[in-house]
Structure 1
């Protein structure tokens, strides 16, 4: 009897089907759908953050150019005519911005960060020299961001307003002040 029982037990084990393993096609499609939806939600935010990081370069460099121009003016009595004259190491061009000095206005200079990519904004820093009522020379600066993104190929002169002791830097049209 024991042999007969062993044989039936072995037959039972051999006949027993193994359960199917793995995922069904529907389950895989649902996972792919959920992942696609999550990617569609996250991707615009990621692209936006990358653009902000690239624009941070332009802001930092133009702000540095403004400060360097103020220092250059107090040391030399005039604004630096070229970016290479400033006491900072700033490249004239990177992959995303081109930097130029525009000193076509007397007693003022424009420091330009011109976007080289169509989805980035450009920056303009203006520094002006004002002689106050005590005949002291004071340098004032403004910092502006273009209202729209786009490639810019022409540097802007410094944006100014007023004359004499009321001479002051400002932002040109289509630019907004970042100085709060």
Structure 2
């Protein structure tokens, strides 16, 4: 018969608190980096969608000799994180596609591309940019 005290097994409260503190510090460092990566991925996806739609607009112009009624014939790309608008010039010879950030993209700016392929990307909370004037996304 053993009457000795059994050894303690498990973790002390101090040890658990230290582990929680270390995990909290790592999460505080990693989460913003992860969020930034996700936002950049969403921007890259939208750049591809805008470029693809610009190609569709050029095909439309080649068949119809202008961009007239392009906004009704073609549907701008949809995305959960950007609102895309198509602005056709009054003479139907040019256009600007503008992608404005929505929820989940705070801190990023608008992207745009025009009929000549000039594009822009603003890195602030701005809601518009002018291709050929503002910084390019290239």
TM above 0.5, yes or no, is: yes
TM-superposition CA deviations, 1:135-173 (whole Å, max 9, x none)? xxxxx32121124234x3xx77xx5xxxxxxxxxx423x
Per-residue deviation, 1:82 = 4.1
Q: Which structure carries more strand by proportion?
A: 1
Q: What corresponds to 2:44 in structure 1? A: 56
Rg larger in 1 or in 2? 1
Q: Name the Cα RMSD after superposition.
A: 2.3
TM-superposition CA deviations, 1:27-61 (whole Å, max 9, x none)? 11111111111111211111111211222332122
Q: What corresponds to 2:97 in structure 1? A: 111
Tell me, yes or no, if structure 1 residue 177 matches structure 2 residue 131: no
The count of corresponding residues between Structure 1 and Structure 2 is 135
CA distance in 1: counterparts of 2:53 and 2:70, whole angstroms: 11
Normalised to the residue count of structure 2, the TM-score between the two structures is 0.81
Per-residue deviation, 1:76 = 1.0
Normalised to the residue count of structure 1, the TM-score between the two structures is 0.64
Could you list the runs of 5+ residues in structure 1 that have no partner in the other structure? 1-9, 128-139, 160-169
Q: What corresponds to 1:123 in structure 2? A: 111
